[in-house]
Amino acid sequence: MTGSPPTTLGTHTEVLPPPASRARGHVARRAVLGGGLGALALAATGAGWALDRYVVDHVEVEDASAYEASVGGGTGVTTTGGTVSGTTYTSDVASVQVQRTVLGSGADRLVYFTADLVLEDATALRSAFADDEFGRNIIEVPSAIASTVGAVWAVNGDYYGFRDTGIVVRNGVAYRDAGARQGLAWYRDGTMRLYDETATSADRLVADGVWHTLSFGPGLVDDGAVLDGIDSVEVDTNLGNHSVQGEQPRTGIGLVDTGHVLVVVADGRSTGYSRGVGMSEFAQIFVDHGAQVAYNLDGGGSSAMVFDGGLVNNPLGRGEERGTSDILYVPA
């Protein structure tokens, strides 16, 4: 990406100058992701390509949140005066209810968590980047990102920084325009749609009222029905992400009705605690909870839900979060 992220001001699209407070474009070394992925890539290739792709920060936009104030009409709402009661949060523009479900027992035991978000203003569902920077290989654990932005509830996003393709629009700002797969669009009017990234552009989506895009997949549910063929979909063909099949920990997001968002985090890879879910089974959970549209996000060890300052689920049965690029959240 060259220059600053474009934003739509009324019907005019322009490129914003960077905030005066900080320079952009530095490249810095970061520790190997999770202690394994970068090392695996280096061992496999012995080349600088792996170091560049998996270990070194590529910061394209610093102080990303500073650009949001320039979006026509402002950055959306900031919820204030909300209250937490047990596993429920309510404010004047958003409510969040978190629930835990346990199915089966022994080796067949499945534990998953749902968050019902009812949003009077769709922009109350916000996004934040690790370190408030957009680029590749920039990571923080979800609870740390959530704490920085004052989130009452948060979930891991699509780990956009793992790849350099996909359309990325967050909080009404276009950061990347490199359509590659099926994406999900969340609109300012509280609706959600699956779409083909290769058939549009980031600027077009912003002009059409898109508040966020997510680029992982596959789509799980459309028109209230589980989509066919999702048990054999490959999201990417790059190293470390050939397939998202089998029983895995998963995170997904869906829409029940206008302004009513359903997020599901299923724990897995932990014998006796939670086995994880296959893709069609995951989609069926959304349908059973009334979702009309649903989309798969980054999963595995990245799957994490945070509420009222604490980790809700139990990633990989160890209670340890993995660093990721981004979160979706509701501010307190």
In this prediction the pTM is 0.83
**Beta strand pairing call for 182-187 and 210-214:** antiparallel
Residue 263 lies in a domain: yes
CA 7 to chain centre: 20
Under 8 Å between Cβ of 168 and 269: no
Residue 222 lies in a domain: yes
Residue 49 lies in a domain: no
* Other residues' Cβ atoms within 10 Å of the Cβ of residue 10: 8
Residue 189 lies in a domain: yes
Structure tokens at 41: 């890539």
Helices (H), the chain: 37-45, 48-54, 65-68, 142-149, 202-207, 279-288
Percentage of the residues of the chain whose pLDDT score is greater than 70: 77
Q: What DSSP letter does each residue of 234-262 carry, written as one string?
A: -S--STT-S---SSB-EEEEEEEETTEEE
Residue 313 lies in a domain: yes
Under 8 Å between Cβ of 293 and 255: yes
Residue 61 lies in a domain: no
Residue 28 lies in a domain: no
Bridge partners of 112, per DSSP, are: 101, 266
Under 8 Å between Cβ of 141 and 325: no
Under 8 Å between Cβ of 38 and 32: yes
Domain that holds residue 165: 76-331
Return the pLDDT at 81. 72
Return the pLDDT at 39. 31
Structure tokens at 71: 């979006």
Return the pLDDT at 47. 43
Return the pLDDT at 75. 56
Residue 70 lies in a domain: no
Q: Closest Cα to residue 50, out of 59, 39, 35?
A: 39
- Residue 5 gets which letter from DSSP? P
Averages of pLDDT over each 10 residues, the chain, 332 residues: 38 33 30 30 40 61 82 54 94 96 97 98 96 96 97 97 95 96 97 98 96 97 97 68 78 98 97 96 98 97 97 95 97 94
Return the pLDDT at 204. 97
* Count of structural domains within the chain: 1
